[in-house]
Amino acid sequence: MKEEQFKLTDIGLIPKDWACLPLGNIGSVKMCRRVMKHQTSEFGDVPFFKIGTFGNRPDAYISRSLFDRLRNKYSYPTPGTILISAAGTIGRTVIFGGEDSYFQDSNIVWIDNPQEIVTNMYLYYYYSIAKWQTENGGIVVRLYNDNLLSTKIACPSIQEQERITDALSDIDKLIKSLKSAILKKSRIREGAVRELLTGETRINGYSGKWLAKNLGESATIKARIGWQGLTTNEYLDSGDYYLITGTDFSDGGIAWEGCHYVSKDRYEQDPYIKIKEKDVLVTKDGTIGKVAYLDHIPGPGTLNSGVFVIRTNDRELSQRYLSKVFISKYFDAFIDSIVAGSTIIHLYQKDIVKFNFQVPPSIDEQDAICNVIEDMDNDIRSLKKKLNKYLKIRSGMKQQLLTGKIRLTL
């Protein structure tokens, strides 16, 4: 790699030996022929994509005969073409793989690029940093042909384009493999949680009948009561007393760095909801049933009105295992029964005390189950941390390589 001398262009500083070209110099804008609603169906031969489903699940299907007629008579992308969203999320891209599928007219477009000046893969990456704007520099709310064709890109030689895209493709492959590993391990974890927390699978060395428990009898349940009237106007950006809300729950714990704070008076107002280590927190408003186990706390804190604090008073039930009960199928089924047919989703204390579940007969087995689940959680968390690291690296690579700030030499 080497640093380079630059020249000032309409898109900023680029290397002196690079060109600044409008996309109109590369090719013309193409789109598929319009398909009418009555020509689509819920099921069929060929998937049909609209802008909202672009690159994901098809919106509908069209018949094979219609697909063949439209593809052969009108514009249709060739394999490797970079499809662009012209509405919605402006500039979102998909590499067309040549599979049988059809695309909504005018909202999904592409440049008919002979690849003599710019490769499709270079376009694919460059679109992610392109500045889509109107001729007078305004914000584009829809990518019309003139916006697209007048958009300028930094253009190195074909050979350098290939070096750039090879480097970005390599890190994309790594990111894809990490996402695949996270998905695979998450599915394994989901199955293990289901079986371990119901006794379908027992850890070696443990036996005996599981114990039936009721939450109201096995734990105390507290929350900020309504008359205390804590409002968002009282949330502080800094302070000595953390305020935990439902939006602070993350990966079975609390994302402390995102928490707000409250005054000392608000913290002291209710001793029952002052947080302690090993507390189990459960959300009761919005996305109900999110759980956090406070294996450590960075300082004193309290709760807003949307969170329960639950503490076991049952010697046969560990606090740590209690936190896992709330990710079990027992609690999923309980929540489903509570919210069935309801338009307002809220978990009341009068309801949660009725929650029934089963637990292993010994604290040792409960801890062993927690160890297995937490080991899997830590493994997945480590992969996610690694993924976020490489996503940031890729973002920086795009900005450096696609603007020529860093050059890749032979």
Report how far residue 366's alpha carbon sits from residue 361's, in angstroms, rounded to the nearest whole number.
Answer: 8
Residues 346, 244: Cα–Cα separation, whole Å: 18
Lookup result for tokens 């697209």 = 148
Answer left, alpha or beta for residue 252, where phi above 0 means left and psi between -120 and 50 means alpha.
Answer: left
Alpha carbons 359 and 197: distance in angstroms, whole number: 8
Amino acid letter for position 396: G
Task: Mean pLDDT check: name the lowest of 38-42, 104-108, 203-207.
Answer: 104-108
pLDDT at 71: 92
**Burial of 323: CB neighbours in 10 Å, binned 0-12, 13-18, 19+:** buried
CA distances from 354 to 212, 213, 330 (A): 13, 10, 12
227 versus 288: the higher-pLDDT residue is: 288
pLDDT of residue 9: 93
CA 259 – CA 226 distance, rounded (Å): 21
What is the dihedral sign for C-alpha 298, 300, 303, 308? positive
What integer is the mean pLDDT of 292-317?
96
pLDDT tens-digit profile of 79-90? 999 999 998 888
Cα–Cα distance measured from residue 20 to residue 357, given in angstroms and rounded to the nearest whole number:
66
pLDDT grade for 135, boundaries at 50, 70 and 90: low
Q: Is the pLDDT of residue 3 over 70?
A: no
Name, in order, each residue with C-beta under 8 angstroms of 162's C-beta and a sequence gap of 6 or more: 119, 121, 122
pLDDT digits (tens, 9 = 90+) for 376-399: 999 999 999 999 999 999 999 999
User: Backbone phi, then psi, for 338, in 5-degree steps?
Assistant: -75, -45
Pairing relationship of beta strands 108-112 and 82-85 according to DSSP bridges? antiparallel
Q: How far is CA 264 from CA 226, 271, 308, 368, in A?
A: 19, 12, 20, 39
Beta bridge partners of 359: 211
What pLDDT sits at residue 137?
Answer: 59
Per-residue model confidence as pLDDT tens digits over 55-70: 778 889 999 999 999 9
CA dihedral 373, 379, 382, 387 (to 10 degrees): -110
**What's the CA angle centered on 38, arms 33 and 41, to 5 degrees?**
95
Counting residues of the chain whose pLDDT is more than 70, the rounded percentage is 96
Q: What are phi and psi of 356, to 5 degrees?
A: -110, 145
* Cα torsion 37, 97, 112, 128: sign: positive
Averaged over 306-317, what is the pLDDT?
Answer: 96
